[in-house]
Structure 1
Amino acid sequence: MYVVVAGETVLPVGGTPRRPADLAEAVRELEAAERPRWVWADARETYAPLLERGVRVARCHDVALTEGLLLAHEGRHGEPRSARAAHARLRGLPVPEEQPSAPGTLFAPEPPAAEAVAEVLADQLRRIAALPEPGRFRLLVAAESAGALVAAEMSHEGMPWRRDVHDALLTELLGPRPVHGMRPAKLQALADEVAAAFGHQVNPDSVQQLVKAFKGAGVALKTTRSWELKRVDHPAVKPLLAYKELARLFSAHGWAWADQWVRSGRFRPEYVVG
């Protein structure tokens, strides 16, 4: 086993850490020569940069996922499972709250030292060995860690995505892409129809304003969910239902969504394991 800390260290378990000039190349060479089980705090922060360099590995032990499994088995599901948290528990220190660890996350914490990850690994292996059926739990850990590799590789590879076709569909359904903070033309037209039906301006995105507007028209609503609106006889209902449907498309799969998840002609979602 080798412990790898993102960007800097390779530590043979039980050996002396080294900081190669090129971590990706060091991992590539060791993988080809030994095919070890790699140990890292979190595959999302360690494996993704290796994939960017064309380095793939066959096996790993994901410390965060393993800690989550052990905590759940111990009846402590929901406690922080990061390597940093596990190391703090091991040392009797205050346990830090869980923080995002995906690459590029703003204000993401620094990765733990390789020696700290090795300590957590040793503790995890001891806890697993003490279980009634350690072999079955080791298999679960291996499967969960393999899932982390697959998730990172799927995110890296992505799926083919025609951005031009997506843009054309959005334009057909919503109108041209609006400037930031504005509604697409067809959404705005429906919002204007809703306002005209009430006789005054109403924000169709505001539940409070809609409930108040319907109340003013003599219609008592508890929610503005589609199933409840469909039972109401009022001229605002038809454009409002159409608005809600297109608004979901705009917010969930519109241009901003594509900006975030589509790169170089590939849809690259983040797959969450565990």
Structure 2
Amino acid sequence: MKFVLPSIVCFLLYACSGLDDGDFSRVRKVVIEGSIEQGEYPIVYLTYSSGFYEPVDSASLQELVLATARVEVSDGEQSEVLTLFRNAKVYPPFYYRGTELRGEAGKTYTLDVRSGGENYFSETTIPSVTPLDSIWVEPEAERDSLGNLWIRFQDVAGQDNYYRNFVRLKGKEEKYHPAYQSTISDRAFDGQLYEHPVLNLPESFIEIGDDVLFQRGDTIELKFCTIDVHHFDFWRTLERELYLVGNPFGSTGNEVISNIQGSKPALGVWGGYGVTHKTIIFQ
């Protein structure tokens, strides 16, 4: 995904702390980005936040990674201590992943992180999957080489539902990344058959251009996810800040709502995903 928390920790620190610039370099918090998808093993990234004025080079970035933590995930019946893996192609180069426990829809998962004598924890659920009714691409009226991706799904009536979209271009991108304005709440369409545009993530939030559209010939892989309210609140508030400010080093001063608790303040999210996959070729 393009949203990797260590790349926005300065923004998160500013948005949550209310500190002035003189305090920036003296504050360091644990940053947790963890998720568990239906049918997949849990994955957790652990780093420290970086001060606004701290250097950004390979040595300083390496020091931000927590590679000696104990990370445990449980569904109330089974639990697993996650294994540390390395991937030198991405940052952070270390992550914790399960090898036994896989996500199941309808279950609740707790995260327990212990590092440096401190304890951090969170809880999330994997909601039931909402199937997609259909998916299509509408070409632009004046430039039919570009198109908008649309989805249609039947929302379940009488309950609060939350969704998040990810996309990947087959043959061009290795990983899924969040769509632009990736989160959806059903508060305005409870129980309805709902149509929604799915936009590509732009290179810059300062000036949104044609890069949110798809190009003719693209094979678009969509991951349509159900999420719970606490998971939704984190990404909704984080995306609001990113879109309003336009860069990861500023803030409107609004709170980014984390669902991580601990013996010391921490940043980040632990979230479950119920997943539907679809693929479409923009012909």
More helix by share: 1
Structure (1 or 2) with the greater strand fraction: 2
TM-score range, shorter chain: under 0.3
Structure number with greater CO (CA < 8 Å, separation at least 6) is: 2
Structure 2 length-normalised TM: 0.21
